[in-house]
Amino acid sequence: MKQLKILGLVAILAGLIIAPFTQATYGTYVLSSWLVFTVAAMGLNLTLGYAGQISLAQAAFMGIGAYSTALMTMAGLPWIASVVVGMGLCFVVGLILGYPALRVQNHFLAFVTLAFTTLAFLVMRNEEWLTGGIYGLVGVPRPSVAGLSLMDGTRYYFFTLGVFILASLSFWWLVNSPWGRAFKGLRENPIRANSLGVDTRLVTLLAFAIGAAYGGLSGALMAPLVQYIDPMSFTLIISLKILLMVVVGGSGYFFGPFLGAGLVIMLPEFLRFAEAYYLMIYAALVVFLMVVCPSGLLGLLSRGIAAIRSREPAERGDLKEGAQL
Amino acid sequence: MTETVLSIRNISKSFGGIHAVRDVSFDVYKGEVLGLIGPNGSGKSTLFNCVLGQLKPDAGGVTVTGQDVAGKRACELSKLGVGRTFQQLSVFPEMSVLDNLILAGQEHRGSMFSRLFGPSDAGLTEEADRMISFFRLGHLRDELAGSLSYGQQKLVDAAMAFMANPALVLLDEPAGGVNLTMLGHLKERLKTYNREHETTFVVIEHNMEFVMSLCTRIVVLAEGAIIAEGTPEEIRANQTVIDAYLGS
Amino acid sequence: MSDFLQLIISGLSTGSIYALAAIGFTLLWQASQTINFAQGEFVMVPAFFILIGSRVLGLPFPIAIGFGLAVAVFTLGFVFKRLVIQPMLPHGHLPIVMATIALAILMRELVKEFYSAEAQTFPALFSEQTFDVFGAVISHQDIGNLAVSAVAIIALQLFLGRTRTGRSMQATAQNPGVAEILGVNVQRMVLYTFMINAALATLASVLISPIYLAKFSNGEPIGLVAFLAAIVGGFNQVRGALVGGLLIGVIDNLSAAYLSSEYRIAGPMILLIVIILLRPQGLLGTSEGRTV
């Protein structure tokens, strides 16, 4: 089973490396955009999927990351410096936004984070001196690595892929470390977790802050990709889109956001034939999906596997003993 | 003189005009299994919550191994060496039994950062496995805790309370809703644990049979005050206690 | 001063319409813990049902309103409850949040594509004539809206408090388990709540569409205001939603007049955050209590 998984991962990675050579410029761009959004969705998956704290603010964090990168790189600073600043900023703002979660949950938290996204959007739109207002910032440069310019789409794709793999590996490490267990403990039973010594207050704040930092990283990758950012890229609708990626893929599953982001990014491409009806079909699909499989695609898959396993007739002595307890 | 683990000093607590607990004091010593009993509304739960730092007493104080618990958050209390179980089912349902137990111990291992960069199980797999086999849950090690039977989940809950090697464990109605076979098993395991580790227990429980056979000493509360204290045999024979329970 | 009075009165008038949407919102929450992120669209859409009745089917306007009401109660009440919400109820809040958000988009797009993307004029129930009170210009419409909302809310309160069905609905909202034991058909009561919500939304639609015109994109601001009103007033009270609605109506009107238009929406947003943080149970609400 484990070998199978590793084999699968290697195959997917190989696919991702070959992919841009089979695609035209546009295909590569869509793939890059999938990588970028997966990073944002991964962050939200930590906050929501692992730690159980709903957030509608991920687009705002992408915005903070994207504007930091755009402003700093356009001023001639290196990309990596802008990433550090953008992620750091998001981490701090995420910590602050986490505070409401210490008091309120569920729908209240959804509204607070929704209000935050709207406020962030207003600042991006109205503070023209900094953000360029509704016209946004044009001409965000792409970084160069070791003197090699990444202006070419395929090269930037590989750069994004590299950062994406780093981000995924760190995420994997995080959620499989004791911290990941503490996040899940917070989601499953905060009172019990607290009584076992888990500082639930700190863990809640960290879940927001780290999730936000991933949002910032995603924004820092996005700005050079599209080379033009405006407030409309970071509205509530985009937050919802990221939330959708997490929920559709399977929130709380490591690969959930990968799959979810893929679907959400690719679906418009497949629905092109529908033209004006695209958004309608899209929305109807979401409603349908939520009704038939509320735990997302990976949730459905894992329940399916569990169901098949439990049908195995093997009768075990220790199970019998256990049944008596 | 044995070491005092829990010391309750002149605790009073009222809600509105009702005195839930009135000037209650007692000590619990190392290795004791103290039962806290009393009819409904006698102030057991209020007292229990004062010990857990969840309620702030109007007067008096609680110390655990010499340290004041007033204003302590649950996680800080845990660091002081206080473990507890819950009246309702209280496991992490979507995590395996093993992960439940590792989580129960990991926050007491190293610092936050050593945990982040250290091994995934915080070096606790072996200890968790020992605890799992101590409670005879070996066959359920990798099952999701939420898929276990009620009694099995109670065992997991109890096992979790011991993972951090606490000085004091508060058991909140451990027998509630557990079937007879399981109850015997739970009691026997708790006794064994107490004997092997000299861990101090405080038990709140309605099931008299369970309390009488588990505890070494019993404190009886009625209307917010201690009306009797002694060994199970003494309590069984105490006329005041019988009257309080019969309501005469 | 007269300007101020005028702003207050017209604020109360729109506020009373917001209150209708907010009350429906809190009713759904109480009955089934459903947060309807499509509530604004629930107010936007009935106007189009009515327009279809009057313009497409050629019904006289009052009958068209009845037609719109019936369609709304069926689709936004019955179908919404049975086909969308019911299957998701056992799975917590998140799927419902996602699905109602998507539903909002779906409804917006349906109206835009199949009716019109343009704002539609909508016949007013009351004349736009005005009269002066202490120099403030007050329209019949303002007073009419206030009156109709007030009657609807009083009728709802009487229904909930005085009739057997109403009391069963309240029992269901407070404790479905106990209600079930007492012989209340809980699922049916929840269904009634959804239908009442649809009816309230239709009424709000009829009152607000003459003011803002009927347009596919109207739902978003209305929904936001309904959430705000519900949160300000407290989620577990009809009275709270009413006060919240009126308050938001007035605040919105005043901030539109006195604040910079760029940050107009920021005022209510900040209010929202402050209220959630300081009094999560709302200004009038009682604490829902946290289990320990």
pLDDT, position A227: 93
- Measured from the Cβ of residue B99, the count of other Cβ atoms closer than 10 Å reads 22
* pLDDT for A323 beyond 60: no
CB of A201 within 8 A of CB of A190? no
Whether pLDDT at A309 is above 80: no
Residue A97, in any domain of the structure: yes
Average pLDDT along chain A: 89
**Structural domain contains residue C160:** yes
- Give how many domains chain A has, as a whole number: 1
Most confident segment among A36-40, A233-237, B66-70, C124-128 = A36-40
- What's the pLDDT at B75? 93
**How does residue C289 score in pLDDT terms, banded at 50, 70 and 90?**
very low
Domain residues for the domain of A256 are 27-312
* Confidence (pLDDT) at B1: 52
Instruction: In whole angstroms, give the CA distance from residue C205 to residue A53.
Output: 34
**Predicted confidence (pLDDT) per residue in B223-241, tens digit:** 889 999 999 999 988 888 8
Q: Could you give the CA distance from residue C112 to residue A41 in angstroms, rounded to a whole number?
A: 30
Q: Is the pLDDT of residue A105 over 80?
A: no
Mean of per-residue pLDDT scores for chain B: 90
Structural domain contains residue C46: yes
Q: What ipTM score was computed for the predicted complex, to two decimals? A: 0.92
Q: What is the pLDDT of residue B92?
A: 96
Is residue A155's pLDDT more than 60?
Answer: yes
Quickly state the pLDDT bin for A318 (edges 50, 70, 90): very low
Residue C222 belongs to some domain of the structure: no
What is the Cα C206 distance to its own chain's centre?
12
- As a whole number of angstroms, the distance between CA B37 and CA B211 comes to 8
Q: Tell me the pLDDT tens digit for each residue of A183-204.
A: 999 999 999 999 999 999 999 9
Q: Do A287 and C88 touch (CB under 8 A)?
A: no
Which residues of chain A make contact with B104, given a CB cutoff of 8 A? Answer: 196
Residue C289 within a domain: no
Highest mean pLDDT among A78-87, A287-296, B112-121: A78-87
DSSP sequence for C103-145: HHHHHHHHHHHHT-SS-B----SS---EEEETTEEEEHHHHHH
Q: What torsion do the CA atoms of C8, C10, C11, C14 make, to the nearest 10 degrees?
A: 160
* Residue C41 in domain: yes
pLDDT classification of A80: cutoffs 50, 70, 90: very high
Element (H, E) at A208: helix A200-226
Query: What is the predicted pLDDT for the residue at A4?
Result: 87
Q: Measure in Å the smallest separation between the Cα of A172 and chain B Cα atoms.
A: 11
Whether residue C273 lies inside any domain: the answer is: no
Tokens of A30: 């869509």
Residues 6+ positions from A25 with CB-CB distance below 8 Å: A153
Confidence band of A315 (pLDDT split at 50, 70, 90):
very low
Q: Which of A157-166, A224-233, A315-324, C37-46 has the lowest mean pLDDT?
A: A315-324
- For residue B230, list its beta bridge partners: B218
Comparing A220 with A247, which gets the higher pLDDT? A220
Comparing A115 with C93, which gets the higher pLDDT?
A115
Q: HEC profile for chain B?
A: CCCEEEEEEEEEEEECCEEEEEEEEEEEECCCEEEEECCCCCCHHHHHHHHCCCCCCCEEEEEECCEECCCCCHHHHHHCCEEECCCCCCCCCCCEHHHHHHHHHHCCCCCHHHHHHCCCCCCCHHHHHHHHHHCCCHHHCCCEHHHCCHHHHHHHHHHHHHCCCCCEEEEECCCCCCCHHHHHHHHHHHHHHHHHHCCEEEEECCCHHHHHHHCCEEEEEECCEEEEEECHHHHHHCHHHHHHHHCC
**What's the start-to-end Cα distance of chain C, in Å?**
51
Q: Residue A145 in 3-state DSSP?
A: strand
* H or E segment and range at residue A67: helix A58-74
How sure is the predictor about C292, in pLDDT bands with cuts at 50, 70 and 90? very low
Residue A242 binned pLDDT confidence (cut-offs 50, 70, 90) = very high
* Mean pLDDT, rounded, of chain C: 86
Give the pLDDT confidence score for residue C288 in this predicted structure. Answer: 46
Q: What pLDDT score does B242 carry?
A: 84
Closest chain A residue to B79, measured at CA: A197
Nearest in space to C38 (alpha carbons), one of C240, C201, C193: C201
Rounded distance between C-alpha atoms, residue B85 and residue A294, angstroms: 32
Measured distance CA(A66)–CA(A268) in Å, rounded: 23
Instruction: Give start and end residues of each alpha helix (H) in chain C.
Output: 2-32, 39-51, 61-72, 86-88, 93-114, 140-162, 164-174, 176-181, 186-212, 219-233, 238-258, 266-278
Q: What are phi and psi of A180, to 5 degrees?
A: -60, -40
Answer yes or no: is C178 within a domain. Answer: yes
Instruction: Say if residue A316's pLDDT is above 50.
Output: no
Q: Max Cα separation, chain C?
A: 59
User: C190-213 b/e with 16+ CB inside 10 Å = b?
Assistant: bbbbbbbbbbbbbbbbbbbbbbbe
- Torsion angle of C-alpha atoms C139, C142, C143, C144, degrees rounded to 10: 110
Of A182, A191, A318, the CB nearest to B103: A182
d(CA B75, CA B80): 9
Instruction: Quick: pLDDT tens for C10-42.
Output: 889 999 999 999 999 999 988 888 889 899 999
**Using CB atoms and an 8 Å cut-off, which of residues 71-130 of chain A contact chain C?**
99-100, 103-104, 106-108, 110-112, 115-116, 118-119, 122, 125-126
Query: Which H/E stretch holds residue A117?
Result: helix A106-126
Q: Are C251 and C268 in contact (CB under 8 A)?
A: yes
CATH number of the domain enclosing A119? 1.10.3470
- pLDDT number for residue B9: 92
Classify residue C290: in a domain, yes or no: no
3-state secondary structure of C180: helix
User: CB under 8 Å to B1, separation ≥6 — which residues?
Assistant: none
What pLDDT is recorded for position C284? 66
The band of B97, judged by pLDDT with boundaries at 50, 70 and 90, is very high
The proportion of chain A whose per-residue pLDDT surpasses 70, expressed as a percent, equals: 95
On chain A, the residues whose CB falls within 8 A of the CB of B151 are 325
Stretch among A9-23, A110-124, A165-179, A299-313 having the lowest mean pLDDT = A299-313
Q: How far is C31 from chain A (nearest CA, A)?
A: 15
The whole domain housing C207 covers: 2-217
At residue B70, the pLDDT reads 81
3-class SS of residue C45: helix
Q: How far is C105 from chain A (nearest CA, A)?
A: 6
What domains appear along chain B, each with residue ranges and CATH number? 4-92+157-246 (3.40.50.300)
Nearest CA in chain B to A320: B139
Tell me the C-alpha distance between A161 and B149, whole Å.
Answer: 46
Burial class (CB in 10 A: 0-12, 13-18, 19+), B199: buried
Q: Tell whether the model's pLDDT for residue A325 goes beyond 80.
A: no
Instruction: Please tell me the predicted confidence (pLDDT) of residue B50.
Output: 87
User: Is the Cβ pair A178, B118 closer than 8 Å?
Assistant: yes
How far apart are alpha carbons C18 and C40 in whole angstroms?
10
What does the pLDDT average to over C177-196? 90
pLDDT for the residue B159:
95
At residue A109 the predicted structure's pLDDT band, cuts being 50, 70 and 90, is confident
B contacts of A177 (beta carbons < 8 Å): 115-118, 120
CA–chain centroid gap for A302, Å, is 21
Looking up tokens 């090699």, which residue turns up? A148
pLDDT for C148 equals 93
Contact B140 A322 (CB under 8 A): yes
The per-residue pLDDT for range B147-158, each reduced to its tens digit, is: 999 999 999 999
Which of A141-155, B107-121, C252-266 is predicted most confidently?
B107-121
- CA dist A203 to A127, A294, B95, Å? 34, 26, 18
Say how many C-beta atoms besides its own lie within 10 A of residue B156's C-beta.
Answer: 26
Residues of B in contact with A199 (CB under 8 A): 73, 75, 107
Which residues on chain C are in Cβ contact (under 8 Å) with A256?
none
pLDDT at C290 over 60: no
Instruction: Specify burial of residue A120 (Cβ count, 10 A radius: 0-12, 13-18, 19+).
Output: buried
